Chains A and B, each alone.
Chain A
Amino acid sequence: MRKTAALPVAMVATVALLAACSGGGDTTSSAEPTSGDGAGAGTSLTVWVDENREPAVAAAAEAFEESTGVTVELVQKNFEDIRADFLAQVPTGEGPDITVGAHDWLGSLIVNGVVDSIDLADVEDDFEPVAVEAFTYDGQLYGLPYALESIALVRNTALAPDPAPATFDEMVAAGRAAGTKLPFVINTNGTTGDGYNYYPLQTSFGAPVFVQEEDGSYTNEIGMGGEAGHAFATWLGQNGMAGTGVFSTDWTDEIARQEFADGNAPFAITGPWAITGFEEAGVDFAVEPIPSAGGQTAAPFVGVQGFFLSAQSDNALLAQDFLVNYLSTPEAQRALHDADPRVPALLQVAEDVSSDPVVGGFVAQVKNGTPMPSIPEMADVWDHWNAAEAAIISGSADPVAAWDKMLADIQASIGG
């Protein structure tokens, strides 16, 4: 069928092709190692950034490139992918020098040894203390903060004209008086439950998720047990679907936003991410601190966004320089705020933008908040916590028993 001539012919052709290819192959390999000869040329910083923030970081990068000659390469990533990719890629040496991130990743970045500490030196005092505290782990600073966010109470000023009710009960009463379909909405994340959104109500009973030290840092001791926790669980059950029906597991984030935007509920507990939608729907609203349900201050979780420095960066010097001297300037921080309007971490910028009533409302709420725990133990809490709250709200479980089981389960997975 086939002649053995195939072999020599193929070989000849190979050699001919090889001769053609080898030239190209050589040029690619020799082009690589020659490093820069001008100032900073040849060195480059890689920065991971998400789509929203890219233009703001690009502006700061341009200034940095101009004054140092170093190239800043911005790699756009989905915010949700960054943590896992950073953990996986930094040890290979291929990770970025700097990445955008959220402060609650810190615990896992620390125990995985992928993040370098930074020193804001003289500019540290220019930042909102809660933001710096959030990026501080065991007394050491690990990131440059730029924005804070928390949930707050949003009130439809047409349906509920009176400002800021002092207690949750008064708020519900005002909501019912408005005669709308619902007095109030909150994101319960459907039947999954959502400890994050209900947290300010929980803290108003004096039941923080973990016990905090004097300086605000978290210990790994669970703080939501005892009478305060039971009181909250009982209250949640009473106002759940088997009780007064103020809370419901039918609500997801989308439903809660839609009901408020449609004017079906005069009050909502939600975050800055919902604001654009409300404005587009033409609702007149005000942002106010969340009223207390249990007598103490309702303190929501504060999430802080910022930039981390890789522990394996080859250009640690430049990366620090870029972070401390170019991204922490008021101009850069203002640009970051404009790109994604949250509460600015730099006090000067926060002051500038607080005149906006919406941002001002969130600024006021953030001052009442506590940073979301960044300790690795927090990862063991969410599932149990969300599920217990969902079961209590839907009325499918006895509040105190479900709460106690949740505490035991969390304790077991933390490994007490």
Chain B
Amino acid sequence: MSTQATHAPAATGTGAPEPHARRWDGRGGGFLVKLALMALVNAVGVSVLWAAYAQGSWAIFAASLVLLVTADWVYVSRRALPLKYVLPGLAFLLVFQLFSMAYTGYVALTNYGTGHNATKEQAVDALLIQAERRVADSPSYPLTVVQRGDEVGFAIVDEGDVRVGSAEEPLADVPDASVDGRRVTAVPGWDVVPYTALISDTALQQRVVDLRVPVSDDADDGSIRTREGSTGQVYSSALVHDEAADTLTNTETGAVYRATDEGRFVSADGEALAVGWRVNVGLENFTRAFSDDTYSGPLLRITVWTFGFAIATVATSFLLGLVLALVFDDPRLRGRRVMRTLFILPYAFPAFLSALLWRGMLNANPDYGIVNQLFFLGTRIAWLDDPVLAKLAIIGVNLWLSFPYWFLVCTGALQSLPGDVMEAARIDGAGRWRTFRSITMPLLLVSTTPLLIASFAFNFNNFTLVYMLTGGGPRFTDTSATLGHTDILISMIYQLSGVAGGRADYGLASALSIVVFVIIGTISALAFRRTRRLEEVL
């Protein structure tokens, strides 16, 4: 197989095209395979449609319908030739990757983040939970759940007396009820719900958890609730929810909190309740991204460093990988399979482990940091505590992490260079350096330039390395922002939006990442346009 690989280009070059030797019989077994695959796809597709229809998941129904119809059209029609090859990957890309992007775009328009984490209903639930307090020093009563038709009530044992009530009827004594220790066994007019029946009925459970039985006609006395179904305690709530007016009222202070467009309940004097909900805030996150002046100072420096870091990383690791690939692409070397395998060692270990390893090895104190001990004669060099050295360190570590990638890619690339051109050059007597410069390198760049751009983009967003190795430090001393000399834009976003610190503002983070994405995307698209010229070489 591999012999054919190198022979073929040479053969075409000499004008005796080998493929002619083969008879092509048009469609054959391949057609049947395709048919079977199509049938499978349709079967799966239709059953997904059916399931989505049954579940009422209309978004999924629509998406799978579009995908299925497209697939059928593409593979049946004669016109959609390129799509036949692109569609499988494209389908996965659309479903999984673009959904993430669309979701980020959606979040960027909301205030999703700490304090605005859920829906309004859930926020009200949470606020009511937090406002409902146990009445101080109130006792805990043995409690039994009772039912009368559709009505649920509680029967409690209060110093030997049984008292029964429901949401509408406050607790009242029921003298002729029977009690067995802590449990009420029978209440006239009510059916006792056994505990086993209660726990097997989720809907009833929910009603029991929500039920509040007033202790008396006076609402200030509080009401009985149960948390686990067998004891009851007296609680009173400081907040009352008025659904119609969309307000929460504090019964102690009388303050009325109204729902606002910002996704919070705010009182007349501007006080807001702790839990808010997600609302659409339009472009506010974007305007905030551009108007926060704490960050406008470091922003320029960080942008410059981000570019410097990404370019330096790609350049150094590509060069090292390329040189190694060239040097060890030599059949006269013995044991080169083992050598090559050992070269990719850094790639075979998890990157975060490597970053932590290097962090330890770069310790300033030569007693702890092996780099200073072995290579710098035991001098104290504060690699991670000096702005310039920290930058060098991070580029150096990233070189170590990524040269195996380029070594692999370049090794593969060198194999697919057309052998005839190389040979012709050799016969022409071109020197090694000239062959490399005017033939190998340009051909290699055709296949690797897109990868160089992709690698640039990857390192532009290389959060893991920065976070694990330096944490962005050493810190800037002339600003209040928690940023440092090795922070890149993506790690700045993490800091700025609190995602790293635990007080996340996902809305802002999303808006910022879209801004960064637009910047890096534009640059890459422009760079990519230039590669067309390279392509035309062929």
Interface residues of A (CB under 8 A from B): 1-2, 4, 6-7, 9-11, 13-14, 16-18, 20-22, 25, 29, 35-43, 68-70, 83, 87, 90-91, 108, 110-119, 121-122, 138-140, 190-192, 248-250, 252, 254-255, 311-312, 314-318, 320-321, 324-325, 376, 379-380, 382-384, 387, 391, 394, 396-397, 405, 408-409, 412-413
Contact of B200 among A10, A39, A312, A387 (CB under 8 A): A39
Contact of A312 among B122, B202, B471, B482 (CB under 8 A): B122
| Distance, CA A86 to CA B227, complexed state (A) | 22
Is there an interface contact between A412 and B132, defined as CB atoms closer than 8 Å?
Answer: no
**Interface residue? B364 (CB, 8 A):** yes
| Distance, CA A387 to CA B198, complexed state (A) | 55
Is there an interface contact between B501 and A379, defined as CB atoms closer than 8 Å?
Answer: yes
| Distance, CA A268 to CA B117, complexed state (A) | 42
| Distance, CA A140 to CA B471, complexed state (A) | 37
Is there an interface contact between A112 and B117, defined as CB atoms closer than 8 Å?
Answer: yes
| Distance, CA A233 to CA B464, complexed state (A) | 33
Contact of B502 among A250, A320, A379, A405 (CB under 8 A): A379
Contacts of B495 in A (CB 8 A): 383
Contacts of A396 in B (CB 8 A): 385
Contacts of A83 in B (CB 8 A): 502
Contacts of A2 in B (CB 8 A): 27, 78
Q: Which of A113, A311, A314 neighbours the largest number of chain B CB atoms within 10 Å of its CB? A: A113
**Interface residue? B304 (CB, 8 A):** no
**Interface residue? B140 (CB, 8 A):** yes
Is there an interface contact between A113 and B360, defined as CB atoms closer than 8 Å?
Answer: no
**Which single residue of chain A is at the shortest CB-CB distance from B44?**
A21
Is there an interface contact between A18 and B43, defined as CB atoms closer than 8 Å?
Answer: yes
Dominant secondary structure of chain A at its interface with chain B: helix
Shortest Cβ-Cβ A-B pairs, 3 listed: A113-B126, A13-B39, A39-B196
Is there an interface contact between A70 and B227, defined as CB atoms closer than 8 Å?
Answer: no
Interface residues of B (CB under 8 A from A): 26-27, 31, 35-36, 38-40, 42-44, 46-47, 50-51, 54-55, 72, 75-76, 78, 114-115, 117-119, 122-123, 125-127, 129-130, 132-134, 140, 196-200, 202, 205-206, 208-209, 226-231, 233, 274-275, 294, 359-360, 363-365, 367-368, 382, 384-385, 471, 473-475, 477, 480, 482, 495, 498, 501-503
Contact of B51 among A29, A37, A317, A376 (CB under 8 A): A29
On whether A380 and B503 interact (CB within 8 A), knowing A190-B384, A324-B227, the answer reads: yes
Is there an interface contact between A21 and B43, defined as CB atoms closer than 8 Å?
Answer: yes
- If A13-B42, A36-B200, A250-B363 are given as contacts, then 9 extra A-B residue pairs at C-beta distance below 8 Å, sorted by A number, are A10-B42, A14-B38, A39-B199, A111-B114, A139-B133, A191-B474, A316-B205, A379-B501, A384-B482
| Distance, CA A17 to CA B197, complexed state (A) | 45
Least CB distance from A28 to B in Å reads 8
**Which single residue of chain A is at the shortest CB-CB distance from B275?**
A113
Is there an interface contact between B365 and A113, defined as CB atoms closer than 8 Å?
Answer: no
| Distance, CA A255 to CA B20, complexed state (A) | 70
| Distance, CA A14 to CA B49, complexed state (A) | 14
Least CB distance from B385 to A in Å reads 5
Is there an interface contact between B228 and A321, defined as CB atoms closer than 8 Å?
Answer: yes
Contacts of B126 in A (CB 8 A): 110, 113-115, 311
Least CB distance from B30 to A in Å reads 11
On whether A320 and B228 interact (CB within 8 A), knowing A43-B202, A113-B118, A114-B118, the answer reads: yes
Is there an interface contact between B39 and A191, defined as CB atoms closer than 8 Å?
Answer: no
| Distance, CA A268 to CA B195, complexed state (A) | 54
Contacts of A254 in B (CB 8 A): 360
| Distance, CA A83 to CA B503, complexed state (A) | 12
Is there an interface contact between A314 and B206, defined as CB atoms closer than 8 Å?
Answer: yes
Contact of A394 among B134, B202, B385, B502 (CB under 8 A): B385
Contacts of A6 in B (CB 8 A): 31, 35, 75-76
Least CB distance from A242 to B in Å reads 13
Least CB distance from B84 to A in Å reads 11
On whether A18 and B47 interact (CB within 8 A), knowing A119-B233, A190-B359, A320-B227, the answer reads: yes
Is there an interface contact between A25 and B132, defined as CB atoms closer than 8 Å?
Answer: no
Is there an interface contact between A43 and B36, defined as CB atoms closer than 8 Å?
Answer: no
Contact of A317 among B72, B199, B364 (CB under 8 A): B199
Contact of A119 among B35, B40, B123, B227 (CB under 8 A): B227
Least CB distance from A405 to B in Å reads 8
Is there an interface contact between B39 and A113, defined as CB atoms closer than 8 Å?
Answer: no
Least CB distance from A68 to B in Å reads 6
Is there an interface contact between B125 and A113, defined as CB atoms closer than 8 Å?
Answer: yes
Is there an interface contact between A190 and B363, defined as CB atoms closer than 8 Å?
Answer: yes
Least CB distance from A181 to B in Å reads 8
